[in-house]
């Protein structure tokens, strides 16, 4: 799918990374060489992934090929959403303002906090026993 008429965008969320290529086409959306509905498995995530295209009214106008790795399905879906938005901006810089207004170009930087020594989890300490 990668060629002269394709545009690329990288999306990240939590530990997930999505590499997204878009090109004008019939609206096929594949994630890791599988149909996105089959890959994601939940209607909420399907809506999330398509949201940048729906916001612009461009669903069915691009073939989208995605390679994801890391994290879970939800993190990957969020990464795909950002990757599609960035690829659309590369395709047409005029779309940047509209995508920014919809909040599609903001990277969700929340990641799991690391566990600290002397603690049970990242912040929770061990239960205190007085006697």
Residues 62-105 pLDDT 10s: 999 999 999 999 999 999 999 999 999 999 999 999 999 999 99
Give dist(CA 72, CA 118) in Å, integer.
28
pTM: 0.90
Q: Specify the number of domains making up the chain.
A: 1
In a domain, 122, yes or no: no
Here the CATH number for the domain that contains residue 69 is: 3.30.230.10
- Overall average pLDDT of the 9-34 stretch: 95
Query: Is the per-residue pLDDT at 5 higher than 90?
Result: no
Could you please report the per-residue DSSP string of 48-72? HHHHHHHHHT-TTSEEEEEEEESS-
The per-residue pLDDT of the chain, averaged, comes to 94
In a domain, 119, yes or no: no
Q: Which domain holds residue 47?
A: 7-102
79 alpha carbon, distance to own chain's centre: 2
In a domain, 1, yes or no: no
In a domain, 17, yes or no: yes
> What are 108-128's pLDDT values in tens digits?
999 999 999 999 999 999 999
């Amino acid at each position: 799918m990668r060629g002269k008429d394709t545009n690329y965008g990288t999306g990240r969320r939590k530990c997930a990374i999505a590499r997204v290529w878009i090109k004008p086409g019939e609206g096929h959306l594949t994630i890791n060489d599988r149909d996105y509905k089959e890959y994601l498995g939940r209607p909420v995530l399907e809506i999330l992934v398509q949201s940048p295209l729906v916001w612009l009214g461009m669903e069915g106008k691009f073939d989208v090929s995605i390679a994801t790795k890391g994290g879970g399905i939800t993190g990957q879906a969020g990464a795909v959403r950002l990757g599609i938005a960035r690829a659309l901006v590369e395709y047409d810089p005029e779309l940047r303002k509209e995508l920014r207004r919809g909040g599609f170009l903001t990277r969700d930087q929340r990641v799991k906090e690391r566990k600290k020594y002397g603690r049970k989890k990242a912040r929770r300490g061990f239960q205190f026993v007085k006697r």
